[in-house]
Amino acid sequence: MLTRELLSQTLPYLRLHDKVYQALQLMNDNQVNHLPIAEGDKYMGIISEDDLLQAENDHTELKDLQQSFSNTSVKENEHFLKAVQISAENGLSVVPVVNDDNDLSGTVAYNDLLKYASEFMSLNEPGGLIVIEMESNQYSFNEISKLVETNDAQITQLNTSNDAETGMMQVTIRINKPEVSDIVATFQRYEYNVKYFFGEELFANELKTNYDNLMNYLKI
């Protein structure tokens, strides 16, 4: 899914002649902390609520605050996950979307990006999650997939990342079945380091522990 397919139809733009108090009111009305600025069709940058609050006069025009503008944006033909990355790295509540001529095509709200990311990763579908850690040169998708499939399950999503401090690779695996204890046991049997796992069994065990604790408390 490309960013141009997710453009908000309700979020406004700011103009260089807008005043600080007007920009703050628009942010408050739309429950965001950032808004893009355009002059004509051209994207001029994005400004934050914090930068606006630091202005000496709330009647100051935005053109006088251009040193506070950030030129952060994504192209309209980029995958929407690029917008998720840009938003997370820069702490943006709104991501400006531009075309190849740097014209402002629109914006995407961070909350909407999270919703699309959840749907993209099938997080609303039943299933379990397993995170394993290994040396990057030991990673083999074929072997990991084979171990999952031996337990009558399939991988629906797999992501890898590297820990900057340890240099170890973390592999996050989404499984199409909620019961993951047998898969975890298989990984451990093959000497994989399972860091975390989340499935129905874990949830059920937590409920039972909480229930037992409550019963013990009530007996006191």
- Write the pLDDT tens digit of every residue in 45-102: 999 999 999 999 999 999 999 999 999 999 998 888 889 889 988 999 999 999 999 9
Q: Any idea which residue has 């975390």 for tokens?
A: 196
pTM exceeds 0.85: no
What residue ranges do the domains of the chain occupy? 3-117, 128-207
pLDDT in tens, 186-198: 999 999 999 888 7
Q: Is 70 exposed, middle or buried (0-12, 13-18, 19+ CB in 10 A)?
A: middle
Q: Distance between CA 187 and CA 144 in Å, rounded?
A: 8
pLDDT at 123 over 50: yes
Instruction: Lay out the sheet containing 94-98: strands in order across.
Output: 74-75, 94-98, 104-109
CATH superfamily of 3-117: CBS-domain (3.10.580.10)
The phi, psi pair for 132, rounded to 5°, reads -120, 155
Domain 128-207 coded CATH 3.60.21.10: no
